[in-house]
Chain A
Amino acid sequence: MARLIRSEKEVEGRVEEVWLVVDEDALDQWPAGPRTVVGRPTARQDAYARARGEARFTADLHFPGMLHAAVLRSPFARARVVRLDLAPALAAPGVRAAVGPGEAPGLSRECEHQGAAVAAVCADTFQQARAALARVEVTWEELEPLLDPDEAVARGSLLEEPRRRERGSLERGLAEADVVVEATYRTQTVLHNALETHQTICRVEGDVLEVYTSTQYVWGVRARVASALGLPPDKVRVVCEYMGGGFGAKNGPDDATFVAAVLARRTGRPVRCMLTRREEMVAAGNRNATIQRLVAGARSDGTLTALGGEYVNAVGASGWNAMIEGPMLMLYECPNVRTTTYGAKLNLPPARAFRAPGFVEGTFGLECLLDELAARLELDPLELRRRNHADREPGGGKPYSSKELAECYRRAEPHWARRDEVRARSTATVKRGVGLASQVWFGGGGPPSYAWIRVGSDARATVVTAMQDVGTGTKTTMAMVAAEELGIPVEHVTVAVGDSLRGPYATLSAGSSTTSSIAPAVRAAAADAKRQILDMARDRYGEDVAELDLAELLSLLGDAQILGTGSRGPNPAGMTVLTFGVQVAEVAVDVETGEVTVERIAAIHDVGRVINPLGASSQVEGGIVQGIGHTLSEERLVDPRLGQVLTTTLDAYRMPTIADVPEIVTELVDAPDPQLGNLGAKGIGEPPIIPVAAAIANAIRDATGADVRSLPITREEMLRALAEARERTRGAAAAV
C-alpha cells in the first residue's frame, strides 16, 4: 500500500526534507547472523564478465557512425575569451559540428579555473577532433588568479556564508579545561582518478535522447540532462551497465555529458565525449585541500570540555563546501564545541565529493589532535576515546538508531595490545609504533528507491532496478537479499540494472547509501513475490503450505510470471542513523631517510548487518588503500603563480601500487540496526577510508615522537617532523 509522506533524506551529510511515496515496510528483520545466503561470502555475480574483459563499459561501446568530440578548455587559471572563431575548426578534415559558449551547459567564455570548458568540436575520429581544436582561433585575456585559501578568506572570496555551528560555549569549555592543546593541520588536494575517465555517448532515437555514461547516478543524469535541454524526463534514457569507478566524481552529468548531448542532437549522429587522463586530472573534480586550526580542552581525567575548529576548504571556482567539521561535531560527547567552516572561492578546479568528503580531512585533524591531547594527559589514546563516547547525539540530541562503537573499541583491544611487541621490533634506524583513530559517518540511506522482481516457471528470479553498480558489488548484494527472501539459490537470481528506461528509480551510489537504500526495496519486492507464490500454493493445494516445492509449483506457470514490486520504507523518525569504526595502524619509520612503511591496519567497523562479507571486506581494503595514498604519496600540485596543474600524469601523481599495501585485518561487528528498515544494513563504502590518515600519523608519533601535521607525509614532511622532535628533546634535555 503506497502512501505519500514527508521525510528526511540525507546524502553525504546534506539533509533535505522531501516528499516521498513509500510502501509500508511490514517485514520483520531477519535475526542476526549468517543465514542461508545473506551473511555468507558470495562471489560477485558479474565477476567473470569483468575479469574476462567481456563487460562493456561506456569506453567500450560503439555505435555506427559515431563521432568523437574534443573540448577546448582554458589553459589558464583565470581568463576570459575575448574572441572565438570556430569556423577554421569546422573546416578541418573530418569535423562535422561544433558547439560554443552558451550552447551547452558548462561551456562559457568566462573561465574561472584551468580546464574550464569553452567549446567543443566533433569529428569522425578523436585525433581529427583534437587536431581541429588546434585550429580554433581564440584570443584569451589572462587575468590574475586567486590561489591562496587564507587570502581568499581574508578577501571574503567565499562560495557561501561561513558556516558556523556551536553548542555550549567554547570559551567556557576552555576555561574549564585542565589541559588545552592547539595545532594547525593541513591536507592536500587529491584526485579521484578512477581508471575509466569521465565519458558519455549520446545518441538520438526518434524523440528519445539516449545517454550512455560512466556515472554513479543514472536518474540524476536523466533529470539534469532533461532539464538542461528542455526535454520531458521520460524522453531521456540513461544507461550505465558497467562503470570503471567514480568515488564521488561521477555523481551527476558533467561538461562531457552535455557536449555529447548537444552535438548528438545537432548532428543526428551518436557522439562520444571522453576525457583524456590529462583532462581527468585537471578538470574532473578533487578532494580539496584544507587548513584546520584546532583546539581541544579536557579535564585531567580525559573528558573533553571544549573542541574548536576553524576550517578552510580550498574548494575552488565552484563546488561544494564539504562538511569537514562533521567529525568534531558528531564523534564525541563534548558540551562545548564551536566550528567555523570557510569555503574558499579560488581559481582552481572545483572540488567534487570524494569518498567521505570532509570527514577524511576532518578526522585527520581531530584524531591527531586527540592523540596530542592524550599525550599531554598521559592517558592511553584508546581510553581517551572511550571516556568521550556519546550515547546519544552529542549535546543531548537524538538517540542513535544503533551504535556499536563501544564494541568496536572492545574488538580493537587485542590489536591495540600489540603496541609493546611492535615497538620492541624497532632498530637503531627503523622505529615502529602503533596508532589508532576513530570515526563516524553516515550510511543509513533513505527512500525513495524501488525494485521489481519477476519469477518464472523455471523458479529463477530477475531483479530489475535502475541503479548502478559502481564496482562495490551491490548487484550481488541485491541478488543475495532476493535469494534469501525467496528461498532460492543465489545463482538463480539475475540482477538487471543500469537503464533508466528499464527499471524503477533507484538512488545514487554515493554517501554509502546504495545497500542501505536499495536492498530493502529488493527484499520488499521479493517478499511481495513470495506472498503471491504462497497465495498460489494455497489455491493449488488448498492448505497453508510451509514446506512447498517451489520448483514444482512454479513449473505450473508456463509463460505466466509472478511479478513483485517493492520500495524503500521511511527512515526511523526522531533518530540518527550513522556508522562507526576504529582503525589501528602499525608503522615502521626509517628515521634517517623519512621513509614510512605501513605494516598493518586493523579495521573494525559497525555498519549494521553485513549482507556479503566477501564484498564488504573488499570495500574495507579498497578504502584503506585509497587512504594510504591520501596519507603518504598522492598530491595534486599546482604552479603557485600560474594556478596550472603540474601533476597531470599517473607517474607524477602517485597512487598506491600493490607493493604499498599493508597487512589488512578486517572485523565487521555485523549487528543489524534494529530500527533501520527490513534489513538493518548500512553502507560501507566510505567508513574505511576515514580513519586511515590519523591512525598512521598517530602510529608515527608513537614510533618516533614526531608530530606530523600535514598530508601527504612525504620524505620532506617526515624529516621535518623528525627534526622538530629532536629539537624538542634537545630543548627538554637542556632544560634539565
Chain B
Amino acid sequence: MELLRPSSLDELAAVEPGRGAFLAGGTELVPLLRDGLVETETLVDVAGLVPAGIEGTRIGAGATLAAVEADARVPDALREACRLAASPQLRAMGSIGGNLLQATRCWYWRLGYRQCRLHGGDRCLAADGEHREHAVVANDFCASAHPSDVAAALVALGATVCTTRRDLPVRDLYRLPTEEDRRTTTLEPGELLLVLDVPPADASVYLKAMDRKRWSFPLVGVAAVRRGDETTVALAGVAPVPWLDDGSLDAATPLPGTAYKLELARVLVERALAKLG
C-alpha cells in the first residue's frame, strides 16, 4: 500500500478521482480497510489539506469532534451531538467530516455478507433477521440505520458543506440506496469535504437514547432547532440516512423488532421540542 501526501488541493486534484481512499482521522477508514470493506492500494492523506479551525459559523471539516464540542460558539445541538458521540479517544482523533461520512453499523454490512444490498446483493438480511438496531422509516429496500449524531444535528441546523466541487446542504450529502445505485452518500469520486457552514439558531438541543450511558451508537438521536417560530427536527438511527422529521415518522414502517424505536423517537421529539422553549 502507498501513502500519498499531496501538499495542496491542486496536487490533490491531480490524483485520479477514486484512485485512493481519503484519510483524515482514520478512525473509520482504517478498520474498514482491515476488514476488506474498503479495498485500495492507495491512501491519500488529506489531513493537512482540510481546514480544521472553527471561525464563527464556519467549522473546518477537519476539526475533531472534541474541538467542536469544546467551542462555545457552536450551536448547542451540535456540541451535544459531539459530546455524546463515540468515545473520548475517537472524539480526539476523528474529524467532523469523517463522522458525516461514516458507514452504517448494520452487522450484516459490517460482516461483509454478500447478499446485503449495500454490498450489491439482492436482499436485506436484517429485514427478516436480527434488526433491533435498524431503521423504522424508509427501510423497505435497506433497513440500515444511520449512526451519526453529528449528521442529525447538522441537518436539523440546516448546515451547508463546501466541498472541492460545490456547496450543498448537508442533507443532500445523503441518499437512500436504490436498485440502480446502492450508495448512501452523494459524494463523487475524488470529492473532498472542506468546510461546514452552520447558521446560528435561537435554540437547539440534541437528545440521544443508547444502550449504555456512553460510547454507544444512537438507538434514536433527536436534534431539534428553533429559529423564530420555526422548528426543525432531524433524527439519527431511524433511517439509512439522517432523517428530517417533517411529520413523516407517521409514515414509519417499523420492522417487528424496531417498533420500540418509534415509541422512543416520539418521546424524544416531544422532549426536545419542549426543551426548545
Contacts and interface: CB of A to CB of B under 8 A. Distances in A.
Direct contact between the two chains A and B in their complex (CB within 8 A): yes
Contact of B264 (A594, A647, A649, A654): A594
A639 B212 contact: no
Contacts of A593: 209, 264, 267-268
Interface in B207-265: 209, 211-217, 219, 257, 260, 263-264
Nearest to A720: B260
Counting chain B CB atoms within 10 Å of each CB, the highest count among A638, A648, A652 belongs to A652
A407 interface: no
A522 to B, nearest CB: 40
Contacts of B107: 637, 646-648, 652
Contact of B219 (A638, A651, A715, A720): A715
The prevalent SS among residues of B at the interface is loop
Contacts of A646: 107-108, 111, 130
Interface size class of A (residues with CB under 8 A): 20 to 34
A348 to B, nearest CB: 14
A714 B110 CA distance: 23
Contacts of B219: 715
A654 B211 contact: yes
Given A638-B130, A640-B129, 10 more contacts: A644-B111, A646-B107, A647-B107, A651-B105, A651-B215, A654-B216, A656-B212, A659-B212, A715-B260, A715-B264
Sorted nearest first, the 4 A-B pairs with minimum C-beta distance are A659-B213, A646-B107, A659-B214, A716-B260
A142 to B, nearest CB: 14
B132 interface: yes
Contact of A657 (B125, B212, B257): B212
13 contacts: A593-B264, A593-B268, A595-B209, A641-B129, A646-B107, A651-B105, A651-B217, A656-B212, A657-B214, A659-B213, A659-B214, A660-B212, A716-B257
A633 B215 CA distance: 12
Contacts of A595: 209
B87 to A, nearest CB: 8
Interface residues of B, number: 25
Given A657-B214, A715-B209, A637 B130 contact: yes
Interface in B124-174: 125, 128-130, 132
A648 B110 CA distance: 10
Contact of B260 (A597, A654, A656, A719): A719
Nearest to B257: A716
A249 to B, nearest CB: 22
A723 B264 CA distance: 13
Interface in A607-649: 632-633, 637-641, 644, 646-649
Contact of B130 (A633, A640, A648, A715): A640
Contact of A592 (B128, B217, B267): B267
B212 A714 contact: no
Interface string B179-221: 0000000000000000000000000000001011111110100
A654 B213 CA distance: 10
A660 B129 CA distance: 29
A688 B217 CA distance: 30
Contacts of B215: 651, 657, 659
Contacts of A657: 212-215
Nearest to A590: B267
Contacts of B257: 716
A660 B213 contact: yes
Contacts of A656: 212
A649 B110 contact: yes
